[in-house]
Amino acid sequence: MYKKLLLLSAAFLIAGCSAKKEECDMRDKSDFEQLFTKDDIYHNSLVNTQKAQLMASFETKALLTATYLNPVFERRNCEKRFTNQMQDAEYFFIGVYISDSEKHEFNTRGYSLTLDGLKPIDIEALDKNDPLRYEMPMVDNWSTYYKVKFKKSLKDDFSLIFENDRFGRDILSYSKGEKPLFQSLIGLDK
């Protein structure tokens, strides 16, 4: 009798915790259901994230992670949460760590970031509680994070260049087209 009652109450508990509500074409999932569903935002962000590293004498002087936000948020059609659908420019989520620096600013001390040679239009520093930080991959407590806006590129392929006058440059290549997660491994089977 107790086993049946326990089994029945567990079934009601799971059914009650998995209640969904529709909002902004997205379903809020219970904690239990989130364990078994794919996080599309995180997956798309990870596909569009690259890392740049500037080194000198086998020591990392600066580390930059850049997520191209346009493909991540282009499928979102929720005006309540995302008023800017990112059609007017090229947007990046940038994380910067510079050794021997407290603020980790990528546009000072000889560091620069350009998109095909063009400087950013707008640089917005994100605070620790910004919701965008919770949706992006490879976020840590040591870096400083920015939302960076560049002029809209007319080309499908473009390069984000992170450089320093002393430590050189690193070039990250991005494409507006959709690409698989392990694109570099796909060419190996040919």
Give the neighbor-by-neighbor strand order of the sheet with 111-115: 111-115, 157-164, 168-175
Give residue 20's pLDDT.
Answer: 46
Give residue 14's pLDDT.
Answer: 67
Other Cβ atoms less than 10 A from the Cβ of 47: the count is 18
pTM above 0.85, yes or no: no
Residue 64 has pLDDT above 90, yes or no: yes
Which residue has better confidence, 28 or 138?
138
Q: What is the mean pLDDT of the chain?
A: 78
Which residue has better confidence, 187 or 11?
11
Give residue 179's pLDDT.
Answer: 58
Mean pLDDT of 51-65: 92
Give residue 120's pLDDT.
Answer: 94
Q: Return the bridge partners of 36, or none.
A: none
Mean pLDDT of 116-138: 90
The residue assigned the tokens 């580390």 is 63
